Structure 1
Amino acid sequence: MAQARQTFERRQLGLTMRRLRDAAGKTQSVAAEAIGKARSRVVQLEDGTATASEADLTTLLDLYGVADETERATVVDLGAQARRRERRGPHYDVLPDSYLRLADLESSATEINCLEQGIIPGLLQSPYYLRAVFGEAEGVLWKRGGKEITERIEFREHRQARIWEASKQPIMRYVITEDALRANMGSPEVMHQQLTHLLKLMEEHPSLTIRVLETTMYGNPLRGTSLTVFAFATRGAPIGYATAAFSPSAYFDDEDEVAGMLRVFHHIWERSLSRIDSQMMIEGIAKEL
């Protein structure tokens, strides 16, 4: 392993290796012994400040009991990306199981700032709502009757558990547009459950603040789009994230680009209803159902 500056690609690799090690129940010392390195080198790898050779990654995958060939190939590809010279521009995650790497970033963040338009964000979705979301896509975005919908539901539930059941949660700021609260997702009963779920989350998790952007509000330069910015305190620079329906999701780690995303987020945050007024609006819409 060679000492390296933290980049997005190296951070992705590090978070993946940490998740696999934790799942295997192995310590960093055991991992270091397996590849003949000091424990500090495994720490650096998992922190995204060191790269790893293909041989070392393969040894660690064997140690962690990773048998799935697709998953092993993905880690090797991540390692190759991490060893390359830093490049500019957004990073498009086109490797398999990209949703797992999003969850790794999410659960390691100390702060999450998210603007979601037209839909309730994944972390905030209630059980019946998230099933309705994937139900609308079944038979359209993927074949009906396959295992994909089950896998997507299980992953989203796991992703939620990683945040809501954690001993220490990040500071979370969410802006949701009013039309998402009034949407016809599933049924009126599903929407009522979803709205009460939002209220319960805010009550149980002081680190979470939800603000509603009213439909009548002017000054939204991101109409029709969504964004998320993850911050990591002293453990790394913030990372921006933007989804797309028919192309890979894009990650941004350029300082100016991420600063611009945060600037737009706070612009919309200030134009949204306060926490208390947002709660009152959610309660009012729920009573209408």
Structure 2
Amino acid sequence: MPTAVDPSLNRRKLRLALKAARDKRGLTQRDAAEALEWSLSKVIRIEAGTVSLSVTDLRAMLHEYGVEDADVVAELEEAARGSKGQSWWTPYNDVISPPFSQYLGYESAASDIRGYHPSLVPGHLQTADYIDALFAVGRPTPDAQQRVDLRLARQERVLQDDGPAVEMILDEAALRRQVGGPAVMRRQLAFLKELVVQQKANLRVLPLTAGAHDSLDSSFFLLGFRDDEDVLYVAGPGGVSTIRDDREAVARYQECFEDLRNKALSEEDTVTLLDGLVVGYHTD
């Protein structure tokens, strides 16, 4: 079933339209802020899509930017009304960092998701018991179940029928690592195969024989949009970052993904490998 439109999608629609209108008017963000008698940070937050926008403020911006088309104004006013309210991940705010919350806003609006993790099955594709096994490592925390529920809720949204196109490169090392033991891994690998067979995701394995590459120490995800440039999410030794404006960094990971894609097994060989690993876990 399709889910209701998330407020983050409406905020993104407003962000793109207002930035385009401001640029067409030949105004900088500072120019717009001074003309509207607002703080510069308010304009920046609106154009970043991180805050809701009232219809009154929207009308002020559209007037300043010379947007008069009645249909466009009505469409954006509807988006402004829909920019308020809670995002789907709001119930999990206690276990979500601000950077990850920002990333989830972008992910909710993405038309496609490409990604790679060097040592684990990517979080979007993990089964419940695989997630449980990951969170069971180390000292128990009272919010562990909430973190599990968040990851599964995110997976449900990403893999729904009208969700984004998903393409992931699975590292063979991650598939051979016994997270939770043989039974957990059998179910996890069977789930990955099911996603491929049902064409819910484009999954291909990067074999161990592929050797070294540019993302051995970092996981990353590239979010694609029909009307905007890619957004990059990277997690590695340097921390976690959501990158939109550093086009050089985004391009580097776009090239990295192409390299991984070229080195990965075909879909048919990926399914064959998954089947073989499942058999192996039955004998362990």
Q: Bin the TM-score by the shorter chain.
A: 0.5 to 0.7
How many matched pairs? Answer: 228
Write the deviation string for residues 153-207 of structure 1: whole angstroms up to 9, x where unpaired: 1111110111223x42222211111110010211110111100010111122x25
Q: Tell me, in whole angstroms, the C-alpha distance in 2 between the residues paired with 1:8 and 1:174.
A: 33
Counterpart check, 1:32 vs 2:55: yes
| 2:230 alignment partner, one of 238, 241, 265 | 238
Structure 2 match to 1:268: 260
Tell me by how many angstroms 1:123 deviates.
Answer: 0.7
* Aligned partner of residue 256 in structure 1, secondary structure: helix
Contact 1:12 1:101 in 2 (8 A): no
Structure 2 match to 1:226: 219
Contact 2:55 2:81 in 1 (8 A): no
* Aligned partner of residue 208 in structure 2, secondary structure: coil
Contact 1:169 1:207 in 2 (8 A): no
Distance 1:273 1:237, change over 3 A: same
* Aligned partner of residue 220 in structure 1, secondary structure: coil
Note the aligned Cα RMSD (angstroms).
3.6
Write the deviation string for residues 4-50 of structure 1: whole angstroms up to 9, x where unpaired: 35999656635x749xxxxxxxxxxxx63798776555567699xxx
Contact 1:227 1:242 in 2 (8 A): yes
Q: Which amino acid aligns with 2:182?
A: P
Tell me by how many angstroms 1:210 deviates.
Answer: 0.9
Structure 2 match to 1:163: 158
Tell me by how many angstroms 1:215 deviates.
Answer: 1.1
Q: Which amino acid aligns with 1:228?
A: F
Structure 1 match to 2:270: 278
Q: Tell me, in whole angstroms, the C-alpha distance in 2 between the residues paired with 1:113 and 1:34.
A: 36
Q: Tell me, in whole angstroms, the C-alpha distance in 2 between the residues paired with 1:96 and 1:182.
A: 30
What TM-score, normalized by structure 1, do the two folds share? 0.67
Structure 1 match to 2:114: 113
Q: Tell me, in whole angstroms, the C-alpha distance in 2 between the residues paired with 1:43 and 1:255.
A: 32
* Aligned partner of residue 239 in structure 2, secondary structure: coil
Unaligned runs of 5+ in 1: 19-30, 48-56, 72-94
| 1:209 alignment partner, one of 196, 202, 208 | 202
| 1:154 alignment partner, one of 140, 149, 166 | 149
Distance 1:159 1:8, change over 3 A: farther
Contact 1:128 1:190 in 2 (8 A): yes
Write the deviation string for residues 139-158 of structure 1: whole angstroms up to 9, x where unpaired: 1xxxx342x21221111111
Structure 1 match to 2:134: 133
Q: Tell me, in whole angstroms, the C-alpha distance in 1 between the residues paired with 2:245 and 2:254.
A: 12
Tell me by how many angstroms 1:249 deviates.
Answer: 3.1
Contact 2:119 2:171 in 1 (8 A): yes
Counterpart check, 1:181 vs 2:171: no
Q: Tell me, in whole angstroms, the C-alpha distance in 2 between the residues paired with 1:158 and 1:125.
A: 11
Tell me by how many angstroms 1:96 deviates.
Answer: 4.0
Q: Which amino acid aligns with 1:32?
A: V
Distance 1:4 1:127, change over 3 A: same
Q: Tell me, in whole angstroms, the C-alpha distance in 2 between the residues paired with 1:161 and 1:258.
A: 27
Distance 1:41 1:202, change over 3 A: same
Q: Which amino acid aligns with 1:226?
A: S
Structure 1 match to 2:239: 247
Q: Tell me, in whole angstroms, the C-alpha distance in 2 between the residues paired with 1:244 and 1:133.
A: 17
Structure 2 match to 1:199: 193
Structure 1 match to 2:11: none
Tell me by how many angstroms 1:122 deviates.
Answer: 0.6
* Aligned partner of residue 49 in structure 2, secondary structure: helix
What TM-score, normalized by structure 2, do the two folds share? 0.68
Q: Which amino acid aligns with 2:106?
A: L
